[in-house]
């Protein structure tokens, strides 16, 4: 599996990643009357660890940023593609239009009459995505704000069962959400679909469930398929991990700890740092003085 993964990534030419076995980290176990061995495998990047943002990380793995979305039929049929752009930090072009079209497909203007989904296929999905003609995404100027219609169609509430079943059929016909299956060297993309706020702006409000969304929402995220099991039933994906929420929490904890530790002694501490800066005994003392002054702590 690892050899096939590396061969596939060599074909991508500009990919920076190679998968390396670490046989010293392994476990052996019995399965189905035979002995199996699992070895640890780690990715190594030729240009060093890539940046945190998912677009740059994905480009390091693929050799380029994703530029096409592919829709595959549930059974025999022809896939379809549409160009997209992922240069904006919050929005991949075309995703809002696709969500809007999917939501419209599950609803009907005639009460009690189920919509005809026979025309929903990969080509239909690609055409809907391609309605977004912008060169680059911008959540301040979205192509559509379909979060309420799309999200509510996904809601698992008992009273929403018929809409949810129709949405599942739409997803199956175009190969998205739980029906998506990417190949090695392809990318899974999860996208937030904003709703329209009262003032017409984009609002990250979830209508798919009745609970608050994460306090750290993202516009989209990529996961690159890098390996697949021999039977084609399992995959391994490689994606970035954003450290900013964790880092921000640690910084706040450190600041609060220092405020408690030096409460009532800020002026004394500032004077000590200034003396160290003047004496040149601590190369970071000047920076600390500048940070203390910029913090506006109100020295007594």
Looking at the structure, do residues 221 and 101 belong to the same domain, yes or no?
A: yes
207 contact partners, CB below 8 Å, separation of at least 6: 147, 148, 150, 151, 152, 154, 155, 195
Helices 122-129 and 161-174: angle between axes, nearest 10 degrees: 90
Looking at the structure, do residues 109 and 206 belong to the same domain, yes or no?
A: yes
Q: Which of 62, 54, 124 is nearest to 92 (CA)?
A: 54
pLDDT at 216 over 80: no
Q: Is residue 24 part of a domain?
A: yes
Q: From residue 54, how far is each of 46, 167, 220, 286 by CA, in Å?
A: 18, 28, 9, 35
134: alpha, beta or left? (left if phi > 0; alpha if psi -120 to 50) = beta
Task: Please tell me which residue, 121 or 75, carries the higher pLDDT value.
Answer: 121
Q: Which residues of 272-287 are buried (b: 16+ CB within 10 A; e: fewer)?
A: ebbebbeeeeeeebee
Q: From residue 257, how far is each of 10, 109, 165, 268, 285 by CA, in Å?
A: 49, 60, 52, 17, 19
Of the residues 223, 242, 261, the one at which a domain ends? 242
pLDDT at 92 over 90: yes
Residue-wise pLDDT tens digits, 51-78: 888 889 999 999 898 999 999 998 888 9
Give me the number of domains the chain comprises: 3
Looking at the structure, do residues 38 and 58 belong to the same domain, yes or no?
A: no
pLDDT bin (cut points 50, 70, 90) of residue 189 is: very high
Q: Which of 3, 17, 7, 14 is nearest to 224 (CA)?
A: 17
Output the average pLDDT for the chain: 87
Residue-wise pLDDT tens digits, 255-294: 788 778 878 787 888 888 888 888 877 777 788 788 777 6
Task: Tell me which residue has tokens 């039929």.
Answer: 73
Rounded to whole angstroms, the Cα distance separating 99 from 131 reads 12
**Containing domain of residue 13, as a range?**
2-43
Q: What is the dihedral of CA 259, 260, 263, 269, to 10 degrees?
A: -50
Looking at the structure, do residues 98 and 140 belong to the same domain, yes or no?
A: yes
Looking at residue 215, what is its pLDDT? 66
Percent of the chain with pLDDT over 70: 92
pLDDT bin (cut points 50, 70, 90) of residue 246 is: low
Looking at the structure, do residues 252 and 225 belong to the same domain, yes or no?
A: no
Q: Give the max Cα distance, the chain.
A: 83
Looking at the structure, do residues 218 and 112 belong to the same domain, yes or no?
A: yes
Looking at residue 28, what is its pLDDT? 94
Q: Is residue 300 part of a domain?
A: no
pLDDT at 195 over 80: yes
Rounded to whole angstroms, the Cα distance separating 233 from 214 reads 31
Radius of gyration of the chain (CA): 26
Q: Is residue 136 part of a domain?
A: yes
User: Both ends of the chain: CA-CA distance in Å?
Assistant: 65
Looking at the structure, do residues 183 and 257 belong to the same domain, yes or no?
A: no
pLDDT at 296 over 60: no
300 contact partners, CB below 8 Å, separation of at least 6: 264, 266, 267
| Residue 202 tokens, joined | 């984009």
Q: Is residue 57 part of a domain?
A: yes
Task: Please tell me which residue, 266 or 44, carries the higher pLDDT value.
Answer: 44
pLDDT at 245 over 70: no
Looking at the structure, do residues 33 and 178 belong to the same domain, yes or no?
A: no
Kindly state the average pLDDT of the residues 7-17. Answer: 86
Rounded to whole angstroms, the Cα distance separating 256 from 267 reads 17
Looking at residue 187, what is its pLDDT? 95
Rounded to whole angstroms, the Cα distance separating 59 from 230 reads 26
Q: Which one-letter DSSP state was computed for residue 267?
A: H
Q: Is residue 48 part of a domain?
A: no
pLDDT at 89 over 90: no
pTM: 0.76
Kindly state the average pLDDT of the residues 138-165. Answer: 90
Assess contact for 98 and 128: CB atoms under 8 A.
yes
Looking at the structure, do residues 38 and 104 belong to the same domain, yes or no?
A: no
Of the residues 222, 242, 262, the one at which a domain ends? 242
Residue-wise pLDDT tens digits, 129-147: 999 999 998 877 878 899 9
Of 74-83, 148-157, 206-215, 274-283, give the lowest mean pLDDT range: 206-215
- Tell me the H-state helices in the chain: 2-11, 54-62, 95-106, 122-129, 147-154, 161-174, 244-261, 266-279, 285-295
Chain centre to alpha carbon of residue 8 = 23
Looking at residue 300, what is its pLDDT? 43
Residue-wise pLDDT tens digits, 123-132: 999 999 999 9
Percent of the chain with pLDDT over 90: 47
Looking at the structure, do residues 183 and 280 belong to the same domain, yes or no?
A: no
Kindly state the average pLDDT of the residues 228-239. Answer: 89
Q: Is residue 235 part of a domain?
A: yes
Looking at the structure, do residues 22 and 160 belong to the same domain, yes or no?
A: no
Looking at the structure, do residues 201 and 71 belong to the same domain, yes or no?
A: yes
């Amino acid at each position: 599996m690892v050899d096939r993964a590396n061969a596939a990534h060599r074909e991508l030419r500009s990919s920076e990643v190679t998968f390396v076995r670490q046989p010293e980290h392994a476990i052996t176990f019995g399965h189905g009357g035979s002995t199996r061995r699992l070895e640890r495998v780690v990715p190594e990047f030729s240009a060093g660890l890539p940046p945190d943002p998912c677009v740059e990380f994905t480009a390091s793995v693929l050799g380029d940023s994703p530029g096409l979305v592919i829709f595959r039929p549930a059974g025999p049929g022809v896939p379809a593609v549409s160009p997209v752009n992922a240069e904006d930090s919050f929005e991949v072009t075309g995703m809002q239009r696709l969500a809007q079209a999917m939501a419209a497909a599950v609803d009907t203007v005639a009460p009690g009459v189920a919509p005809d989904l026979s025309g929903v296929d990969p080509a239909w999905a690609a055409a809907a995505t391609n309605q977004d003609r912008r060169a680059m995404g911008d959540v301040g100027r979205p192509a559509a704000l379909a979060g309420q219609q799309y999200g509510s169609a996904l809601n698992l509430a008992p009273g929403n069962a018929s809409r949810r079943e129709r949405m599942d059929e739409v997803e199956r016909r175009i190969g998205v959400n739980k029906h998506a299956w990417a190949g090695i060297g392809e990318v899974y993309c999860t996208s937030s679909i904003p709703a329209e706020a009262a003032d017409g702006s984009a609002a990250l409000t979830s209508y798919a469930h009745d609970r608050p969304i994460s306090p750290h929402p993202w516009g989209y995220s990529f996961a690159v398929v890098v390996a697949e099991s021999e039977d084609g039933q399992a995959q391994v994906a490689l994606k970035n991990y954003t450290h900013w929420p964790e880092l921000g929490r640690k910084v706040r904890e450190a600041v609060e700890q220092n405020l408690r530790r030096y409460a009532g002694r800020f002026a004394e501490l500032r004077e000590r740092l200034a003396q160290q800066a003047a004496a040149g005994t601590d190369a970071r003392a000047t920076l600390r003085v500048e940070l203390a002054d910029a913090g506006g702590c109100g020295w007594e």
